[in-house]
A and B are shown apart, each in its own frame.
Chain A
Amino acid sequence: MGIFRLDPETYRRHKDDVLRLCNSFQRIDRRGLSDAEIAVELGLPERVVTEIRCVAERDCYPLDEWEKAIEFKDQACREWAALALKRPDLKRGPDG
């Protein structure tokens, strides 16, 4: 029996709709819907919507984005250091 496991085809079919409706990409003109509300909207069981959302939240960006996050924070720290210490040369990374 195992744990509840989402059918990959169901995931592929509904991933974009669930991401559009939930709170992942927030826009000014609408509140993100709860899983129960999305389930009504898409005609799916709530448990299936919850699973689609959970997988999609992690699946939105590839591993590269985590590396970019590190680069972003390193760069922001260098710029902060350059500003705080009045040393423009610190803006450059260790590799120049």
Chain B
Amino acid sequence: MSELPPGATAALKSAALKAGAAVCGIADARAFDEHAPPRHRPADLLPGARSVVVVGGAQPRAGDWAATSRAVLETMGTTERIQSVGRRLAQLIESELGYYALFVPPGTASGDTPFLSLMLAAELAGVGSRSLAGPVLNSEHGFLYWSAVITTAPLEVDGREVEAACPAPACREMWEREATTPCLEVCPASRGGCLDGRLESGRAVRTFYDAPRCHTRVHTHWIGGFQKVLEEALNEPDKDKRKMLLYGDFFTRTLWAVTYSSTNVAQCFECMRVCPAAHGKKELH
């Protein structure tokens, strides 16, 4: 294979933005080695991987963040829009540049473990940094969904973001005043939530995260909820009580979700809704 033509990286990024991405960055595939365990690194998925193209976008609209209905908020997670951008870039790299390109599958490799950490990819590609609540935030756009393409193409890589979006100035002030932040206050591990952490010299330090509990909130009506009710139904000897479980609102709503009849993959946004850094810099009225 030949080296890339001049301007190939810039042209690829431009194509990503035209296809609907809010941001596009490129990470060195080897940079994952320091952070990700073996089998979760780019070269484990695509031998000879040299770069990882990361796109972010498809974020919830400002109106979604302002919604007062749980059922509406549970439909905000529309990751497939950014995944289609990732797929398009993979095709472009192979057809236009002549290098292998592997679209990182958005599902899981096993259980709740992803093939490749898209959050780490976004950090290494310089398009976001980790927040106290967990999600990677872009300093301009806030909370985004991510997609990545691993490629053998030697693209020009980006450095990490210099200015982290988290903690926002308002959160630093709140920490000084109350020793908490909006995200820690809304979902504290000490009171049945998922998060614990602190601000230290103006930096966010997350000290604890309960992923299984977060799963019950983010994926209430999803795979886990389906398995739980199915188990309960199988263990229920009374046929009328079984019917109440299987025909009831919880299971019905779960089936709508898992069959993609009503797209809702991520279903809890409370830590992000209260986050001053999550909604981008553009103000609406």
The count of chain A contact residues (Cβ–Cβ below 8 Å) is 38
Nearest opposing residue in chain B for A85, CB measure? B68
Assuming the contacts A23-B113, A36-B37, asked whether A73 and B212 have C-beta atoms less than 8 A apart, the reply is: no
Q: A25 touches which one: B111, B209, B220, B229 (CB < 8 A)?
A: B209
Query: How long is the Cα–Cα vector from A76 to B274 in the complex, in angstroms?
Result: 10
Question: Is A10 close to B, CB under 8 A?
Answer: no
The stretch from B140-148, B172-180, B200-208, B258-266 touching chain A is B200-208
Chain B residues lying within 8 Å of A23, measured Cβ to Cβ, are 113, 211
Q: Which of A31, A54, A57, A69 contacts B217 (CB 8 A)?
A: A69
Interface residues of B (CB under 8 A from A): 35, 37-40, 66-70, 73-74, 110-113, 186-187, 192-193, 205-213, 215-217, 220, 224-225, 227-229, 231-232, 250, 267-268, 270, 273
CA distance A28 to B35 in the complex (A): 14
The number of A-B residue pairs with CB atoms under 8 Å apart is 109
Q: What would be 15 A-B contacts, judged by CB atoms less than 8 Å apart?
A: A24-B211, A25-B208, A27-B207, A28-B208, A53-B110, A54-B110, A58-B228, A60-B213, A68-B192, A69-B220, A70-B70, A70-B220, A73-B217, A73-B268, A80-B273
Is B68's CB under 8 angstroms from A77's CB?
Answer: yes
* B213 lies within 8 A of A50 (CB): no
Residues of A within 8 A of B206 (CB): 26, 28
Q: Is the CB of A57 within 8 A of B37?
A: no
With the chains together, A28 CA to B2 CA distance in Å?
44
A84 within 8 A of B: yes
How far is the CB of A48 from the nearest CB of chain B, in Å? 12
Q: B217, A72: Cβ atoms under 8 Å? A: yes
Which A residue sits closest to B74, measured CB to CB? Answer: A73
Shortest CB-to-CB span from B244 to chain A, Å, is 14
